[in-house]
Amino acid sequence: MPRPFHPEGAGQLSVTPSESVRRGAERELEMLESLLALGGLVLLRDSVEWEGRSLLKALIKKSAAWLVYHDLFRDPLNWSKTGEALPEGPLGALRAMCRRTNPGPVTIALDSLSWLLLHLPCTTLCQTLHALSHQDSCPGNSTPVEPVHVLGLLHEELHGPGPVGALSSLAQAEVTLSGAMGQASAHILYRRPRQRPTHQTQWFSILPDFSLDLQRGPPLELQRHADPHTPPVDPTTQLTFNLHLSKEEKEAKDSLTLPFQFSSEKQQALLRPGPSQATSRIFYEPDAYDDLDQEDPDDDLDV
Amino acid sequence: FSLWSGSIWRGKLTLLCDAKTDGSFLVHHFLSFYLKANCKVCFVALIQSFSHYNIVGQKLGVSLTTARERGQLVFLEGLKSSVDVFFRSQEEPHPLQFLREANTGNLQPLFEFVREALKPGDNAEAAWRCPVLLVDDLSVLLSLGVGAVAVLDFIHYCRATVCCELKGNIVTLVHDSGDAEDEENDVLLNGLSHQSHLILRAEGLATGFCRDVHGQLRILWRRPSQLTAQRDRSLTYQYKIQDKSVSFFAKGMSPAVL
């Protein structure tokens, strides 16, 4: 029997004997509760650098007391033709899940949606996911059915913005994985019906037994970098030569006019050459052997 | 690097990737490493001839000819056998069958070849340690007309058989086209990166060619395990390729500049 799961958090959480009550357990359950409380699709977006499979496993571990594993890994495309593989492959398996009869709460984890997106048309996948997560509105079903939670892992870099956007619009919650300094973080976007979307950023790490360890904030080094009180290191302190200027040197430097700087004084001086201006002139006195011929000043024309 | 010699490193996919440089030295390294470690190796060599790998292998201390003769190495020489495809009747399956098909369907014949090569034998050749699949390289399959999804499916099936069933390792090389905006190659590279346990990325230096430092190697562990603390996920070294070995050093610590 799947463990009863009350999404409103009315205090009816049953804890199996194998779990020990830890201080962080409350906050952990809070994050997971909010992720799994909404029926529908929870999209886990990961990247090459920050992988999301561990988080998916942690979520599976938390949300399910009874796990059914559909092995579509070994032969998804029916290459072995032994008859062991499911007919119609993964899509057939998903469609079969749409027609469930068990009214209890069900969590379906898909590893990964990227595989399905690469092999199936985007529209088919979106329709199947929609049918999966909205089973409570099945016609002809008189008893109210607990919502289906679908956890899908999506590798962001593999797909264009179109398919990713389509899946994102189907999702009730999106968890984007990133991190800094070796510490992973999840940016969660909730889309609750009839409410504004809300954001939450949670730093976490996954322990070897796939339980979540939530951190309060970004890692210590990141916080330290943002601290404005640490003085920057002065690079001019330990040199063998002098980079500083004395007071007189500074004054002389500031009062120096650059030769090619065109200031207004220089402009005035050039426009009105006054008698105080010492213009340079050439004084030339030809001696006896000089023959100044204007038409041949260098005396090299062979005329 | 001593990580790989332990018995814990089994059933893993290692992705070799190069960007703006030639990462084939990593392929030669892994080939000689696994042969020396007494593993059964299936080498799908699509880029160079057998003698090329043999010559480099001899510098690194292994003889591919000997390994092939005693059954330790199964070598698919792509350059030679691609011509055989056209001189065979169509009924006989050939690993490189896709070259002959107009719409390149899938790489199932190649997978069957790999599975046949690495399946454990019934006689006493259980002397070999874990099976290893080495592919040089996967990007060329895209140039030959195979779709990126088909290549990913091929590696998926190889992983299911070689890594999970036979507890062996896979090492494969993919080129990163970088700015060349090759969408198919990007899908292949990213798809493989998500499937890998370890990514070794050889990059040229950002400042250009240098005689003493040939490039930079980035190591990224993707699946956290007991082996790696969270901090050690990513390391960067610089390297210089020498005649018989490759020397690694920390960034900026090349003996030539110190």
> Per-residue pLDDT tens for A172-190?
889 999 888 777 888 888 8
Q: What is the distance between the alpha carbons of residues B151 and B215, in angstroms, rounded to a whole number?
A: 28
- Pairing state of beta strands B73-77 and B39-45? parallel
Q: What's the pLDDT at B41? A: 94
Asked whether the beta carbons of residue A155 and residue B191 sit closer than 8 angstroms, the reply is yes
Q: What's the pLDDT at A144? A: 59
User: Which of A278-282, A284-288, B70-74, B189-193 shows the lowest per-residue confidence on average (mean pLDDT)?
Assistant: A278-282
Q: What's the pLDDT at A45? A: 92
Query: Chain B contacts of A79, Cβ < 8 Å?
Result: 106, 108, 111, 157
Query: Chain A contacts of B153, Cβ < 8 Å?
Result: 77
In this complex, is the C-beta atom of B105 within 8 Å of any C-beta atom belonging to chain A? no
CA distance B50 to chain A (A): 30
Q: What is the distance between the alpha carbons of residues B85 and B87, in angstroms, rounded to a whole number?
A: 6
CA distance A70 to chain B (A): 15
What's this model's pTM, rounded to 2 decimal places? Answer: 0.75
Q: What's the pLDDT at A1? A: 35
Interface probe for A, chosen from B111, B184, B194, B234 (most Cβ of A below 10 Å), is: B194
- If contacts are CB pairs under 8 Å, which of residues 176-205 in chain B contact chain A? 186-187, 190-191, 193-194, 199
Q: What's the pLDDT at B105? A: 73
How far does Cα A81 stand from its chain's mean position?
A: 42
Mean pLDDT score of chain A, rounded to an integer? Answer: 74
**Looking at residues A23-46, what average pLDDT do you find?**
68
Q: Which residues of A lie inside 8 Å of B (Cβ-Cβ)? A: 46, 48-49, 51, 53-54, 73-77, 79, 112, 114, 118-119, 155, 157-158, 182-183, 205-206, 208
Q: What's the pLDDT at A277? A: 53
What burial class does residue A261 get, using C-beta atoms within 10 Å of its C-beta: 0-12 exposed, 13-18 middle, 19+ buried?
exposed
Q: Is the pLDDT of residue A123 over 80?
A: yes
Q: What is the distance between the alpha carbons of residues B169 and A190, in angstroms, rounded to a whole number?
A: 40
What chain B residue is nearest to A119 in terms of C-alpha separation? B149
Count Cα neighbours of B200 within 13 Å in the Cβ-side half-sphere: 21
Q: How confident is the model at residue A20 (pLDDT cuts 50, 70, 90)?
A: very low
Residue, of A21 and A222, whose pLDDT is higher: A222
The pLDDT tens digits for A135-172 are: 654 455 555 566 778 888 999 889 989 999 999 988 88
Token pair 């379906």 is at which residue? A108
Within chain B, which residues score under 70 in pLDDT?
A: 1-8, 102, 104, 122-126, 223-233, 257-258
Q: What's the pLDDT at B57? A: 93
Residue, of A225 and B181, whose pLDDT is higher: B181
Q: Is the pLDDT of residue A3 over 50?
A: no
User: Which of B111, B164, B233 is opposite residue A182, by nearest beta carbon?
Assistant: B233
CA distance B154 to chain A (A): 10
Q: What's the pLDDT at A133? A: 75
Q: What is the distance between the alpha carbons of residues A170 and A181, in angstroms, rounded to a whole number?
A: 32
Q: Which helix (H) or strand (E) holds B186?
A: helix B183-195
Q: Is the pLDDT of residue A303 over 70?
A: no
Interface probe for B, chosen from A45, A118, A209, A210 (most Cβ of B below 10 Å), is: A118
Please give the ipTM for the structure prediction.
0.81
Q: What is the distance between the alpha carbons of residues A142 and A125, in angstroms, rounded to a whole number?
A: 28
Asked whether the beta carbons of residue A79 and residue B111 sit closer than 8 angstroms, the reply is yes
